[in-house]
């Protein structure tokens, strides 16, 4: 007598094979999407730098933060079935403070840092996010630094000093100030990343993003209002309007959403190393579009910095930690 399950065996095997193919296709799609986001984020440093030739940074911030909160609220409203999800008062206050930190302070510092420095310098320094994350975790006694992490942090810091040395020796104070501002903003966003993790686990990434964006927007609107009022918006040209919408909606908003899906699909540990490609993308685009040039000292400093960040991150993974580069907020 035949086993009644025998008839189901070919169907089951076919389903298993189809499931494997589906999972593989999903992983391939996520990898392609992750690389696309890195390309967009890397190019966006150059886009913003070019845009600042037509728009003051304050006017750019004003326009961006008229658009971003509306998109964030609309997404949250849609994902919550047409209702506004409430969070406990204590978490709402914490999210408001973190929103000011991540948007009002971090985004404004990144924007002016790009304006004063170069696109490639800005991208490289923002890639140092994991170093600050490790130092914050160590400083708050959440985790101790392993030997490999100490080596990586030391290498990254040394690489940044080498990278900045020509500006310091040449007394290029504006560019140096822009780079130091980028370093400070990377540290701020690493702190935001650490502090929002438990909130995301409780309320979800979309809710945290929407609350933080709404809380951080008023300060940026006030900061950018004088420049916005002085800007002849009708005469900036259609190309600059395209660049503005690209930077605000495609790179910042859509890029964040796609990157979240890529992390969810591939896992943070497998996705994070893709961000080390971002300075390379920025450098190539800056060289191609704006003619930016790189000295041997800069390239050496960049290589040492990225190697140090990579060593620190993979040493963290060996310790069972997940210290990923912070998602870019430009």
- Do the domain assignments include residue 5? no
CA distance 89 to 166: 49
- Give residue for tokens 């290589």: 303
- Model-level pTM greater than 0.85? no
Per-residue tens of pLDDT for the chain, all 330 residues: 455 555 455 565 555 555 566 677 888 898 899 899 989 999 999 999 999 999 999 999 999 999 999 999 999 999 888 888 989 999 999 999 999 999 999 999 999 999 998 899 888 888 887 778 778 877 776 667 777 878 888 888 888 888 877 776 666 666 677 888 888 888 888 888 788 888 988 998 889 989 999 999 999 999 999 999 999 999 999 999 999 999 999 998 888 888 878 877 887 667 767 777 888 899 999 999 888 888 888 889 888 988 888 887 677 555 555 555 555 556
Q: List all residues 6 or more positions away from 30 whose beta carbon is below 8 Å from its beta carbon.
A: 261, 262, 265, 266, 271
Look at residue 21 in the predicted model and tell me its pLDDT: 62
- Do the domain assignments include residue 70? yes
225 in helix, strand or coil? helix
Q: How far apart are the first and last CA of the chain?
A: 69
- Do the domain assignments include residue 281? yes
Q: List all residues 6 or more positions away from 328 whose beta carbon is below 8 Å from its beta carbon.
A: 41, 126, 255, 275, 278
Q: List all residues 6 or more positions away from 192 whose beta carbon is below 8 Å from its beta carbon.
A: 98, 101, 102, 106, 326
- Do the domain assignments include residue 33? no
Rg (CA), the chain: 22
CA distance 96 to 260: 21
CA distance 207 to 213: 10
CA distance 8 to 195: 50
Query: Do 125 and 160 form a contact (C-beta atoms < 8 A)?
Result: yes
Number of structural domains the chain divides into: 1
Its domain, for residue 187, covers 42-318
Cα 123 → chain centroid? 10
By CB atoms closer than 10 A (0-12, 13-18, 19+), residue 172 is: middle
130 in helix, strand or coil? helix
CA distance 40 to 248: 12
Q: List all residues 6 or more positions away from 32 whose beta carbon is below 8 Å from its beta carbon.
A: none
Q: List all residues 6 or more positions away from 108 whose beta carbon is below 8 Å from its beta carbon.
A: 61, 220, 223
232 in helix, strand or coil? coil
Query: Do 242 and 51 form a contact (C-beta atoms < 8 A)?
Result: no
Tokens for 39, please give them. Answer: 């390309």
Q: Helices 9-51 and 238-245 sit at what angle, rounded to 10 degrees?
A: 130
- Do the domain assignments include residue 20? no
Which has the closest alpha carbon to 208: 223, 197, 222? 197
- Do the domain assignments include residue 77? yes
Tokens for 45, please give them. Answer: 């440093």
Look at residue 110 in the predicted model and tell me its pLDDT: 92
- Do the domain assignments include residue 326? no
pLDDT tens, position by position, 163-200: 877 776 666 666 677 888 888 888 888 888 788 888 98
Look at residue 321 in the predicted model and tell me its pLDDT: 55
Look at residue 262 in the predicted model and tell me its pLDDT: 85
CA distance 277 to 282: 9
- Do the domain assignments include residue 135? yes
Q: For residue 328, what is the DSSP state?
A: P
Look at residue 19 in the predicted model and tell me its pLDDT: 57
Q: For residue 7, what is the DSSP state?
A: G
């Amino acid at each position: 007598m035949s086993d009644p399950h025998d008839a189901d065996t070919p169907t089951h095997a076919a389903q298993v094979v189809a499931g494997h193919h589906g999972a593989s296709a999903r992983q391939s799609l996520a990898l392609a999407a992750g690389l696309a986001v890195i390309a967009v984020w890397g190019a966006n440093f150059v886009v913003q730098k070019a845009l600042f030739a037509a728009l003051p940074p304050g006017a750019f911030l004003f326009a961006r933060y008229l658009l971003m909160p509306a998109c964030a609220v609309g997404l949250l409203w849609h994902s919550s079935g047409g209702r506004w999800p409430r969070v406990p008062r204590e978490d709402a206050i914490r999210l408001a403070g973190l929103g000011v930190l991540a948007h009002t302070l971090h985004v404004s510092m990144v924007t002016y840092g790009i304006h004063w420095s170069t696109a490639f310098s800005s991208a490289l320094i923002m890639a140092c996010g994991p170093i600050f994350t490790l130092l914050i975790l160590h400083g708050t006694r959440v985790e101790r630094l392993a030997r490999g992490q100490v080596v990586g942090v030391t290498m990254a810091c040394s690489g940044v000093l080498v990278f900045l040395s020509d500006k310091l020796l040449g007394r290029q104070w504006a560019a140096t100030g822009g780079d130091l501002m980028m370093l400070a903003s990377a540290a701020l966003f690493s702190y935001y990343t650490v502090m929002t993790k438990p909130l995301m686990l409780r309320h979800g990434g979309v809710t945290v993003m929407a609350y933080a964006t709404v809380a951080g927007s008023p300060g940026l609107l006030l900061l950018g209002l004088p420049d916005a009022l002085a800007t002849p918006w009708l005469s900036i040209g259609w190309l600059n309007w395209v660049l503005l919408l690209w930077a605000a909606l495609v790179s910042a908003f859509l890029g964040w959403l796609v990157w979240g899906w890529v992390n969810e699909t591939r896992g943070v540990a497998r996705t994070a190393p893709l961000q080390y490609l971002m300075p390379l993308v920025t450098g190539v685009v800056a060289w191609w579009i704006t003619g930016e040039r790189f000295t041997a000292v800069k390239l050496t400093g960049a290589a040492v910095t990225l190697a140090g960040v990579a060593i620190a991150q993979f040493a963290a993974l060996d310790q069972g930690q997940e210290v990923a580069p912070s998602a870019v907020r430009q």
